[in-house]
Amino acid sequence: MPMRKIYFLSFCLLLLLKFGYAQQTKVKSVSVNFQQVRIEQFVTDLEAKTGYHFYYDPMQFDSLKVTLQANNLPLDAVLGMAFKNTGFKYAITGGQVFFTKGRAIQTGLAAGYFGSKTDNLPANTIPQPIADYDTKEVKVPEATTENKLYEIGNKTNVIGQGKATISGYVRDSKSGESVIGASIYVTNTKSGVVTDQFGYFTITLPKGRQILSVRGLGMRDTRRQIVLYSDGKMIIEMHDQVTSLKEVKISAEKVANVRNVQLGVNRLDIKSIKQVPTVFGEADILRVVLTLPGVQSVGEATTGFNVRGGSADQNLILMNDATIYNPSHFFGFFSAFNPDIVKDVELYKSSIPEKFGGRLSSVLDVTNREGNKKKFTGSAGIGLITSRLNVEGPIISDKTSFSLGGRTTYSDWLLKLLPEEYKHSQASFYDVNLDISHQIDDKNNIYITTYLSKDKFKLNSDTAYSYSNRNANIKWKHNFNDKLFSVLTAGVDHYQYDIASFDNPVNAYKLNFDINQTNFKADFTYYLNRKNTINFGLNSIYYKLHPGNYEPNSPQSLVQPDIVPAQQALESGIYLGDKYDFTDDLSVSAGVRYSLYNYLGPQNVYNYAPNLPKTPSNFIDSTNYGNNKLIKTYSGPEIRLSARYNLGDNLSLKGGYNTLRQYIHLLSNTTAIAPTDVWQLSDPNIKPQYGDQVSLGIYHNLQSNTIETSVEVYYKRLRDYLDYRSGANLVLNHHIENDVLGTEGKAYGVEFLIKKTTGKANGWISYTYSRTFLRQTDPNAGELINGGAYYPANFDKPHDFNFIGNYRFSHRFSVSLNVTYSTGRPITLPVAKYYYAGSERVYYSDRNQYRIPDYFRSDFSMNIEGNHKVHQLTHNSFTIGVYNLTGRQNAYSTYFTTGAGVISGFKLSIFAKPIPFINYNIRF
């Protein structure tokens, strides 16, 4: 070839490359007028006018305020004027804009992309999209250039009219785990969906070209440009927020707080949980849940919690759909949930989904990590009295993964620091989690969860206590098609406690209790269309209780055996719910659940005289039922209704009404849940609990959706809640109906929440005013408590305030402050003494007439991280802090002793001094 031809062709190639590069870097022109606006408003306006995708670190831009006026100038010129003399830089590439501080990001051509001539053509004339996908499921890496087009469905020359459905999964690009709660929004149709607990989504859209905007909590926002021919599937992989842009938020569209139809729902990510200081420094899910509005506890280091005036047994606590009956370790200082295993936490205080039943007040739904499907990773932590280890990785790459975690304690050294009389005490616990996830094919996934925990303690006595949880279940998720999928779950749950005395062989004894449940449920979701989602299913739980087994613990023991007969029952439910979007502003979710409860033999049931108290003196006869014979049936519908109306882009009004039934009761005449408390099934003499709640809330996001605010009011009614006669004996009681009283109650309150989600300073403030009253009005129950008048419940605490504040000075150093205040709980006190029949008697006040002193506590912690180099063997961090910073002696309870003929009162404080802590954490 002559040299002149070579020169000519080279010259033409250079011109083409220059032309292609010029087309790629061409930016839009905008007109703006800003006066001292914050970066969030600046970005929001530019996003709306350009359609570009903005990335930035809010912490670095907290102090920036923009004053600028421009008329039809290119975007790069506008940004140059805005950042002039500020030290801030920008970079524009492929419809994306990056803001940085000090140094600009270097951009270049994306691999394999030199521009597309299809941008201005109708979808049905696009000659050759970049990516070609048929109805088979395809992976779409997040790193792929977002301006590429992806064909979905069977390709045809001309796209017809009508709609088609896209379904698939959103997954973490690094670990392959599902991204729960990721939102997929389509601007053209103003429609969107949220991924479920498996990261699954399905959405119906008009055929043709669409843009999917994908956002996930803790993930880098992304988008996909698609051409929709017919039904098809996608796997969208998202990246974690990169280190240099760790706090990247495209805040302009984070409106889930406003747009979600449910109210009374709080979602926590594990990152937020780990920032809150707790006793001994280990992240604790239950301690953080207690900082949410409407959630309280009766005191420090307690096991249970109370939600909107409900008792502790009215909360359904689930971990991967396994029921956890005792969610605590080590006297309530630690929760049963390993923070390194947990992925997501949701608390339902109202708008409880139809698929949940069996409890009146709330559902705490904890989801564990599935395990890394791409590589082996792990983490470990060492504290003052506990340590933990977690490993995860692929069994079969991209298909099967596992997550294994465990915790244990070495607290004996701490107990030896106690006074002499307590130095021989012992306390320990351990727990183990194993989760396995396996993808069989495009339509079938299997999930296996197992959990084992055990606590043992002995406090300066010859009596040893222990309790344990054992749970296992398996889930099968099946996609029938793009619109219908099911989740079948089968599992077993077990809780047991044991008390043993052994030092004195003559009096040595063992006492144990256990509850076993075998459950099965089938949940179905049908996406009828983009406005209508239907949920339906059924579930069944078989209960087997052993309320008490008392027997000798040595051959020399003179203890007489005593066994309370076992109880068994079958609780079932069927439900149907529908979420319908009437307009873009009005959405309604309505459903009904019908529950059926059967109490079964063998059992010997006592019959009492009608219209008289159920006491031994009113006993008539008994009826004996054989094994599995039906003794008593309870049933009824449960209504679930909620609605949302948008009053503006960032403002909505929500309302809801729920009715629920509870067939199992926790028998406890102590203020806090104790390991020795006994569960009791509803039977012919103990009715199930019933409750209904109406709630109303207003939700408003501020400053480009970086601040969430909400106010909710509620009113709740309770019926057949169990309270106890004075002096009731709940252990080894063969006829518990003689000592319990069915009461009715009412609870009402207002909850405030302000939450800042981004920036160097973030956290939330919550305040709750609430009241809970009970009364016993059944004239057939005998003597009425408080003469039949309302009295405060044991957990009635009118005022509850929480402040959680976090401030990040840099990517390596941050601090957290927690402040808590609440009204003291009610107590009943002796108010006088008198003599009767020659002996001294004590006269008590009305039930719960007085209160212990108010509660106040502040905690502080510092988190120091190692360097953020990507390619290193381990990543380390330290957490140092102080629990109960001010050393306030908060009263847990009051008690009285008699000495030298004088009655003296005392306060018991759990943590009466500041408690320093340090934790070392490592990731590998």
The answer on 335 and 224 residing in a single domain is no
CATH number at residue 47: 3.55.50.30
Question: Phi first, then psi: what are they for 390, rounded to 5°?
Answer: -135, 130
pLDDT at 765: 96
The answer on 649 and 510 residing in a single domain is yes
CATH number at residue 500: 2.40.170.20
423 in Cβ contact with 416 (< 8 Å): yes
Q: State whether residue 266 is helix, strand or coil.
A: strand
Q: Pick the last residue of a domain from 101, 133, 148.
A: 101
Angle at 687 between CA 681 and CA 693, to 5 degrees: 105
**What number of helices (H) and strands (E) belong to the chain?**
7, 58
pLDDT at 902: 62
Instruction: Select from 920, 614, 890, 601 the least CA-distant residue to 740.
Output: 614
pLDDT at 598: 98
Taking the C-alpha atoms of residue 300 and residue 825, their distance in angstroms, rounded to an integer, is 12
Asked if residue 248 is part of any domain, the answer here is no
Residue range of the domain that includes 212 = 123-240
Flag the least confident range among 132-146, 173-187, 396-410, 875-889: 132-146
The answer on 57 and 129 residing in a single domain is no
pLDDT at 278 over 80: no
The answer on 709 and 602 residing in a single domain is yes
Confidence tier at 504 by pLDDT (50, 70, 90): confident
Asked if residue 215 is part of any domain, the answer here is yes
Residue 542, burial from CB neighbour count under 10 angstroms (0-12, 13-18, 19+):
middle
Taking the C-alpha atoms of residue 207 and residue 378, their distance in angstroms, rounded to an integer, is 44
pLDDT at 26: 57
Taking the C-alpha atoms of residue 844 and residue 84, their distance in angstroms, rounded to an integer, is 75
Q: How many CA atoms lie within 13 A of 468 on its CB side?
A: 16
Instruction: Select from 359, 271, 245, 259 the least CA-distant residue to 308.
Output: 359
Asked if residue 323 is part of any domain, the answer here is yes
pLDDT at 128: 38
Instruction: Select from 693, 892, 697, 805 the least CA-distant residue to 291.
Output: 805
Taking the C-alpha atoms of residue 35 and residue 70, their distance in angstroms, rounded to an integer, is 12
Q: What is the pTM assigned to this prediction?
A: 0.81
Query: Which pair of tokens denotes residue 408?
Result: 């244990």
Strands 850-851 and 826-827: antiparallel
Q: State whether residue 252 is helix, strand or coil.
A: helix
Taking the C-alpha atoms of residue 790 and residue 774, their distance in angstroms, rounded to an integer, is 5
The answer on 414 and 296 residing in a single domain is yes
Instruction: Select from 274, 341, 329, 275 the least CA-distant residue to 302.
Output: 329
Domain count, the chain: 3
Asked if residue 734 is part of any domain, the answer here is yes
Tens digit of each residue's pLDDT (9 = 90 or more) over 846-905: 888 889 899 999 999 998 987 766 667 778 888 899 988 998 888 877 766 666 656 667
Asked if residue 740 is part of any domain, the answer here is yes
pLDDT at 477: 94
Tens digit of each residue's pLDDT (9 = 90 or more) over 774-785: 998 777 676 788
The answer on 146 and 80 residing in a single domain is no
401 in Cβ contact with 393 (< 8 Å): yes
Angle at 644 between CA 643 and CA 648, to 5 degrees: 165
The answer on 236 and 271 residing in a single domain is no
Taking residue 851's Cβ as centre, other Cβ atoms within 10 Å add up to 17
The answer on 270 and 141 residing in a single domain is no
Mean pLDDT of 636-641: 97
Taking the C-alpha atoms of residue 176 and residue 886, their distance in angstroms, rounded to an integer, is 45
Asked if residue 414 is part of any domain, the answer here is yes
The answer on 270 and 205 residing in a single domain is no
Tens digit of each residue's pLDDT (9 = 90 or more) over 168-194: 888 888 888 888 878 888 877 777 788
Q: Largest alpha-carbon pair distance within the chain?
A: 131
Asked if residue 1 is part of any domain, the answer here is no
Identify the residue whose tokens are 């033409």: 12
Rg from Cα positions in the chain: 31
Instruction: Select from 536, 540, 500 the least CA-distant residue to 518.
Output: 540
Q: Pick the last residue of a domain from 182, 205, 240.
A: 240
* End-to-end C-alpha distance for the chain, whole angstroms: 59
Cis-peptide, bond into residue 602, ω within 30° of zero? yes
Angle at 302 between CA 299 and CA 303, to 5 degrees: 145
Query: Which pair of tokens denotes residue 470?
Result: 């054992």
Q: State whether residue 482 is helix, strand or coil.
A: coil
The answer on 226 and 295 residing in a single domain is no
The answer on 786 and 851 residing in a single domain is yes
Asked if residue 81 is part of any domain, the answer here is yes
Q: 707: which strand partners?
A: 702, 756
Mean pLDDT of 535-564: 94
182 in Cβ contact with 214 (< 8 Å): yes
Confidence tier at 720 by pLDDT (50, 70, 90): very high
Taking the C-alpha atoms of residue 333 and residue 883, their distance in angstroms, rounded to an integer, is 12
230 in Cβ contact with 135 (< 8 Å): yes
Tens digit of each residue's pLDDT (9 = 90 or more) over 783-811: 788 888 999 998 999 999 999 999 988 88
Question: Phi first, then psi: what are they for 162, rounded to 5°?
Answer: 105, -165
Q: State whether residue 244 is helix, strand or coil.
A: helix
The answer on 432 and 317 residing in a single domain is yes
- Helix or strand (DSSP H, E) at 377: strand 377-382
Query: Which pair of tokens denotes residue 434?
Result: 């194993």
Q: Pick the last residue of a domain from 101, 135, 162.
A: 101
CATH number at residue 169: 2.60.40.1120
